[in-house]
């Protein structure tokens, strides 16, 4: 009976993985616009990876941790407000989804690296863009070199790189990787009460490595490496979309 359907039973039957509890908790806390900043600070302070990312975001011009002017979680939350915590909460499921997608579809284990220490992409590279709108709104940008994109497509399709001559096949593959990653991310946001929907992905070549600016949004840049493959991900969020 339809009424008797229960999500836990369905998840078990279909073999679905639940969202990590800590991520769900932080997203749920900051999704409440009247959340207590001390409660948020408590969750972040217990997770060194979250604290590192929060401090990195609060010190955007610092090249190294020694240059940080803002050194504590409390200071960073006071400086950037709850929007910064929301961005942090959203970046976590995005990073998890990206790592899982590359591991599952490409057998590539991505490790998170400091984006400030990664060598920027020079010249033409591939840029995938996807937007989301609703209670949470923003854009996700995925960048990788043309060589890395060809390797990714080759792995995903099980073809030799020289067999990728058909126009659009590399772009389609990168677009689908972005689609899968943001689809998982969007599902996590919806489960945390931030209902939103995705726009179709767009993939193009660019020489502009700078994260696009958008009024009223906050940005986090993340970087990942697997061997020679380096992937940059920018997430821009309008923290409190009115929709």
Partner 1 sequence: MATKILTVDDSRTIRLIVTRAFRAYDCAICEAGNGEEGLAVAAREKPDVIILDVTMPVMDGVTMLGKLKETPELKAIPVVMLTAESGRDNILQIARIGVRDYLVKPFKEEQLVEKVGRIVSLEKKAATAPAV
CB of 204 to partner 1, least distance (A): 17
243 binds partner 1 (CB under 8 A): no
The binding track of 64-103 with respect to partner 1, each residue x by CB under 8 A or -, is ------------------------------------xx-x
CB of 5 to partner 1, least distance (A): 5
Of the candidates 181, 17, 29, which has an alpha carbon nearest to the alpha carbon of residue 99?
181
The CA distance from 179 to 184, in Å, is 9
Which of 22, 64, 104, 124 contacts partner 1 by CB under 8 A?
104
**243, two tokens:** 């929709």
27 binds partner 1 (CB under 8 A): no
Torsion-angle region of residue 94: left (phi > 0), alpha (psi -120 to 50) or beta? alpha
Which of 91, 138, 175, 239 contacts partner 1 by CB under 8 A?
175
Which of 85, 88, 121, 156 contacts partner 1 by CB under 8 A?
156
- Candidates 68-76, 183-191, 202-210, 216-224 — which segment interacts with partner 1 by CB under 8 A? 183-191
- Name the 3-class secondary structure at 97: helix
Which of 47, 74, 75, 172 contacts partner 1 by CB under 8 A?
172
The CA distance from 182 to 225, in Å, is 19
Cα separation values, 158 from 76, 154, 175, 181, 242, Å: 45, 6, 17, 20, 44
Contacts of 49 (CB under 8 A, 6+ apart): 112
Which of 59, 154, 184, 217 contacts partner 1 by CB under 8 A?
184
CB of 190 to partner 1, least distance (A): 4
**22, two tokens:** 């800590």
Minimum CB distance to partner 1 smaller for 16 or for 49 = 16
Query: Residue 67 gets which letter from DSSP?
Result: G
Please report which residue ranges of the chain form alpha helices under DSSP H.
7-14, 21-31, 37-45, 48-58, 73-106, 146-157, 169-191
Which of 81, 115, 134, 183 contacts partner 1 by CB under 8 A?
183
Applying CB under 8 A, the residues found at the interface with partner 1 are: 2, 5, 7, 10-11, 14, 16-17, 100-101, 103-105, 153, 156-158, 168-169, 172-173, 175-176, 179-184, 186-188, 190-191, 198, 200
């Amino acid at each position: 009976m339809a009424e008797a359907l229960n999500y836990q039973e369905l998840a078990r039957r279909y073999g679905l993985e639940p969202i990590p509890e800590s991520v769900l908790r932080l997203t749920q806390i900051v999704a409440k616009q009247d959340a207590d900043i001390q409660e948020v600070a408590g969750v972040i302070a217990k997770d060194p990876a979250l604290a590192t990312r929060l401090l990195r975001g609060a010190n955007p011009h610092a090249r190294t941790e020694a240059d940080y002017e803002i050194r504590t979680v409390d200071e960073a939350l006071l400086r950037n407000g709850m929007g910064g915590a929301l961005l942090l909460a959203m970046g976590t499921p995005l990073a998890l989804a990206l790592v899982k997608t590359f591991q599952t579809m490409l057998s590539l284990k991505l490790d998170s690296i400091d984006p400030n220490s990664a060598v920027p992409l020079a010249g033409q590279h591939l840029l995938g863009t996807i937007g989301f709108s609703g209670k949470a709104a923003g854009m996700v940008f995925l960048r990788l070199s043309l060589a890395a994109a060809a390797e990714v497509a080759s792995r995903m399709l099980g073809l030799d790189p020289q067999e990728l001559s058909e126009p659009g096949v590399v772009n389609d593959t990168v677009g689908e990787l972005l689609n899968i990653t943001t689809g998982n991310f969007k599902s996590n946001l919806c489960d945390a009460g931030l209902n939103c929907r995705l726009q179709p992905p767009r993939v193009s070549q660019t020489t502009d490595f700078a994260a696009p600016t958008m009024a009223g949004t906050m940005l986090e840049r993340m970087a990942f490496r697997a061997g020679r493959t380096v992937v940059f991900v920018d997430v821009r969020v309008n923290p409190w979309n009115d929709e």
